[in-house]
């Protein structure tokens, strides 16, 4: 069974968008700011071309197509997880106190999602496929939770990313949110309507690609340095004043105590 004309169209459109995005990422120098995200984008094009070639050569429902699709998906999922982790680190790296607070919960969340995926795959007749599918669902859910928390931390502690990086976050959030909803609605009927499930996923990802492409059509804005409350000289002067005030308070306290005990 081969791809329908509509599926061929969306695969071709997605491949063109991935190629354009890959060129823009390296032409605009985004790979120097977000190397892991750039690696993820670079993997998308060979993955799309390879899957499409396998579908046309061996058929959409062949064993070769099934295993190639899920294996390539596993590689891309790892790259996507690393890209999201990179965004979290870049957002909070200038606030070590906040990063130290949220790092352990993020690690625990990732561990819990992996355990869930392993448990889901253990009793399945195709453990590799079941594990990859469970990881994808867990990753999409985790991305939605993490990026929502990242947005909340950005508002609360005024730590955030540049304009281009915000678009990267938005693209991940849009795609993952759609996937979470799509998986929830299609869980009972996914095998029967697998083609439509994949097509809907491809279209939602194309929307994310467009979100990423638009800001890269112009040169990247320069990175703004993290805000500093005081310069080193000002901080030293203020600290000296505080210490002097504390010394005077201690001396005055001692004087008062002596006068009361005389």
Q: pLDDT tens for residues 174-215?
A: 888 888 877 776 655 555 555 566 667 778 888 999 999 999
What whole-number distance in Å separates Cα of residue 211 and Cα of residue 24? 13
| Mean pLDDT along residues 143-151 | 81
pLDDT band at 53 (very low <50, low <70, confident <90, very high): confident
Q: Which of 130-134, 154-158, 182-186, 205-209 has the highest mean pLDDT?
A: 205-209
Q: Please, what's the b/e burial string for 125-146 (b: 16 or more CB within 10 A of its CB; e: otherwise)?
A: eeeebbbbbbbbbbbbbbbbeb
Check whether residue 82 and residue 158 sit in a common domain.
yes
What whole-number distance in Å separates Cα of residue 116 and Cα of residue 160? 31
Check whether residue 261 and residue 199 sit in a common domain.
no
| Neighbour tally for 262: CB within 10 Å | 5
What whole-number distance in Å separates Cα of residue 1 and Cα of residue 56? 9
Check whether residue 140 and residue 242 sit in a common domain.
no
Check whether residue 81 and residue 172 sit in a common domain.
yes
- Domain span at residue 244? 230-262
Check whether residue 113 and residue 57 sit in a common domain.
yes
Report pLDDT digits (tens) over 104-113: 777 787 777 7
Check whether residue 89 and residue 131 sit in a common domain.
yes
Which of 152, 176, 142 has the alpha carbon at shortest distance from 92?
Answer: 152
Residue 215 sits in a domain of what CATH number? Answer: 1.20.1070
Q: Is residue 154 part of a domain?
A: yes
Q: Is residue 224 part of a domain?
A: no
Q: Is residue 246 part of a domain?
A: yes
Q: Percent of the chain having pLDDT more than 70? A: 72
pLDDT at 262 exceeding the cut of 80: no
Going by C-beta distance under 8 Å and a sequence separation of 6 or more, which residues neighbour residue 174?
204, 207, 208, 211
Bigger pLDDT: 12 vs 131? 12
Task: Tell me, rounded to whole angstroms, the distance of Cα 117 from its chain centroid.
Answer: 19
What whole-number distance in Å separates Cα of residue 14 and Cα of residue 8? 10
Q: Is residue 225 part of a domain?
A: no
pLDDT at 35 exceeding the cut of 80: yes
pLDDT at 127 exceeding the cut of 90: no
Q: Is residue 9 part of a domain?
A: yes
Number of domains forming the structure of the chain: 2
Structure tokens at 205: 């990802």
Check whether residue 138 and residue 240 sit in a common domain.
no
pLDDT at 117 exceeding the cut of 80: no
Q: Is residue 152 part of a domain?
A: yes
Check whether residue 118 and residue 40 sit in a common domain.
yes
Q: Please, what's the b/e burial string for 158-191 (b: 16 or more CB within 10 A of its CB; e: otherwise)?
A: ebbbbebbbbbbbbbbbbbbbbbebbeebeeeee
pLDDT at 1 exceeding the cut of 50: no
Mean pLDDT of the chain: 78
pLDDT at 217 exceeding the cut of 80: yes
Check whether residue 106 and residue 143 sit in a common domain.
yes
What whole-number distance in Å separates Cα of residue 144 and Cα of residue 178? 10
pLDDT at 67 exceeding the cut of 50: yes
Q: What sign does the CA torsion over 148, 198, 48, 68 have?
A: positive
pLDDT at 22 exceeding the cut of 90: yes
Please tell me the predicted confidence (pLDDT) of residue 261.
60
Residue whose entry in the numeric block shows the structure tokens 């690696």: 39
Check whether residue 164 and residue 251 sit in a common domain.
no
Backbone angles phi, psi at 227, to 5 degrees: -65, 140
Check whether residue 248 and residue 210 sit in a common domain.
no
Check whether residue 152 and residue 242 sit in a common domain.
no
Going by C-beta distance under 8 Å and a sequence separation of 6 or more, which residues neighbour residue 49?
15
């Amino acid at each position: 069974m081969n791809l329908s004309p509509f599926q061929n169209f969306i695969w071709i459109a997605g491949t063109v968008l991935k190629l354009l995005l890959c060129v823009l990422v390296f032409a605009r120098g985004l790979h120097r700011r977000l190397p892991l995200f750039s690696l993820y984008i670079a993997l998308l094009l060979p993955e799309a071309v390879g899957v499409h070639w396998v579908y046309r050569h061996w058929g959409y429902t062949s064993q070769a197509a099934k295993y190639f699709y899920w294996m390539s998906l596993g590689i891309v999922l790892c790259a996507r997880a690393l890209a999201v982790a990179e965004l979290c680190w870049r957002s909070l790296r200038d606030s070590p106190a906040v990063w130290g607070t949220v790092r352990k919960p993020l690690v625990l969340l990732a561990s819990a999602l992996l355990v869930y995926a392993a448990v889901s795959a253990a009793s399945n007749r195709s453990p590799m496929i079941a594990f990859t599918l469970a990881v994808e669902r867990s990753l999409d859910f985790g991305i939605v939770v993490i990026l929502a928390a990242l947005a909340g931390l950005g508002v609360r502690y005024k730590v955030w990313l540049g304009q281009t990086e915000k678009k990267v976050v938005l693209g991940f959030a849009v795609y993952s949110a759609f996937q979470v909803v799509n998986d929830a609605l299609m869980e009972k009927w996914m095998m029967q309507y697998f083609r439509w499930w994949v097509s809907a996923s491809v279209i939602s990802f194309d929307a994310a690609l467009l979100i990423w492409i638009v800001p890269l059509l112009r040169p990247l804005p320069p990175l703004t340095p993290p805000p500093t409350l005081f310069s080193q000289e000002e901080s030293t002067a203020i600290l000296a004043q505080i210490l002097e005030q504390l010394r005077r308070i201690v001396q005055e306290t001692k004087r008062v105590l002596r006068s009361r005990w005389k």
